[in-house]
Amino acid sequence: MTEFARRAGERVKAWFSANADHVTLKFYPEPDAEPLVPGDGYVRLWLAEGFLAKAVSWGNKHFPALHGGVTLTFANQLTPFTRFTKPAATLAAPGAYIDYPMTPLLPFAGGTVEVEAALYQASVAGPLAAAVAIGGSIASLIGPPLSVAAAIADKVGTGLDTVLATQDEKPVLGLHHTLIAAGGGGQVLRGGHLVVVNAPESEVPASLRVAEGRLRTDAGLLTGFDYLVVRVECRTQHDELRFPNLAELEQRAAYEWQMGNADRYREIRAQAVAEALGSPDLIARDRTVVARYVAGRFDALKEFGAVPGEEGGFDPIPAHLLPGQDEVANLTLDDLLRD
């Protein structure tokens, strides 16, 4: 585990443990949500909604800073991912929400998933604001490949953690919760919403619920309390499938083919297929699908002499190549590497 992920997680966990008797934490599963089977999907965290009751008096001198993270533990192997940024929208207005992705999609291999989220009060002229601004400026880099994204997040996060420690910054509100694979004897990992309200359960309206992705009561939106709503997204198929490393290889292969370097083209093609098949960003089923798609993209370079699009990425994967098709399920490595 990276040092920032560990220390930031410990800080949020300590706050939550110290305030456990004074906050309400609930998990609302999505209707008909099935437990996520290890090796069969991904998990991603979103800040769905948040409200800080006292923020209305902050004026323009302070703003909320968001920390969110998840740690996947499987067979004593830790996969941490954490971010710290300024939300794109304000939390000051009652009922304000963000729908902000706190993590990218992370393959779930089993074991435990520790979820953490916290809101800090940052002063516009303070060091935390400057550090958060730097973190937000590289938000677009936090994506596949995860090994690179995690390294970037950790470098920036280490600086943020130093600011938090030296300024003795503590969360205004935080949550820490553990989800597990089915059969483990705890809260099962499935799609849903984690809700933390900064008040004992006896003071929270009994009608509290999540409806249409928002925290509500019989009287409408919840007001008068600090709260966070974190959406735990579970899905069985990756929604992006656009990886910079594979797009770069495709561009290089296009150049080599147009220059008449067929052998070099084949070497790059084989490298791209191998990287797709071994990608730690994907579950095994999606690795095969992406490898097949990458091979098809490379073969199209020979037929059309085309260079990848301006954005340098892949088009959405065709429906006939999606998982579950016999054509994909029966592929072999030789099939994928054959040109």
Q: Answer yes or no: do 253 and 193 share one domain.
A: no
Mean pLDDT, the chain, whole residue set: 76
Checking if the pLDDT of 29 tops 90, the result is: yes
Q: List pLDDT tens digits, range 144-194.
A: 666 656 665 666 556 666 666 655 567 888 899 999 988 767 789 999 999
Residues 224 and 273 in one domain: no
Residues of the chain with pLDDT > 90: what percent? 23
Q: What is the pLDDT confidence band of residue 208, given thresholds at 50, 70 and 90?
A: very high
pLDDT higher than 50, residue 324: no
Last residue of a domain, one of 203, 235, 267: 235
Residues 69 and 147 in one domain: yes
Cβ neighbours of 175 (radius 10 Å): 25
pLDDT tier, 80 (very low <50, low <70, confident <90, very high otherwise): low
- Write down which residue in 190, 206, 235 finishes a domain: 235
195 and 70 part of one domain: yes
pLDDT bucket at 317, cuts 50 / 70 / 90:
very low
- Is the domain of 222 the same as that of 307? no
pLDDT more than 70, % of the chain: 65
Question: Does residue 212 share a domain with residue 287?
Answer: no
Q: 159-168, 218-227, 248-257, 285-294: lowest mean pLDDT where?
A: 159-168
**Of 146 and 46, which is predicted with more confidence?**
46
Quote the pLDDT of residue 325: 46
Is residue 219 domain-shared with residue 256, that is, in the same domain? no
**Which domain covers residue 327, as residue numbers?**
244-337
265 in the same domain as 224: no
Element (H, E) at 195: strand 192-197
Q: How many domains does the chain have?
A: 2
- Same domain membership, residue 200 and residue 115: yes
| DSSP codes, 276-333 | HHT-TTS-HHHHHHHHHHHHHHHHHHHHH-PPPPTT--PPPPPGGGSTT-HHHHT--H
Least confident segment among 215-229, 277-291, 309-323 = 309-323
**Predicted local confidence at residue 339, as pLDDT:** 57
Strand pairing class (106-108; 112-123): unpaired
Asked whether residue 134 carries a pLDDT value surpassing 60, the answer given is no
Q: What is the pLDDT of residue 1?
A: 42
Q: What is the pLDDT of residue 316?
A: 46
Domain match, 221 and 257 both: no
Could you tell me which residues come within 8 angstroms of residue 328 by beta carbon, excluding any fewer than 6 positions away?
A: 288, 289, 292, 321, 322
Given this model, what pLDDT does residue 40 score?
93
- Distance (Å, rounded) from C-alpha 5 to C-alpha 39? 24
89: its two tokens: 């929208």
- Considering only CA atoms, which of 123, 228, 108, 258 is closest in space to residue 180? 108
pLDDT at 272: 93
In this structure, are 223 and 123 located in the same domain? yes
Q: Say how far apart CA 84 and CA 101 lie, in whole Å.
A: 11
More confident residue, 93 or 111: 111
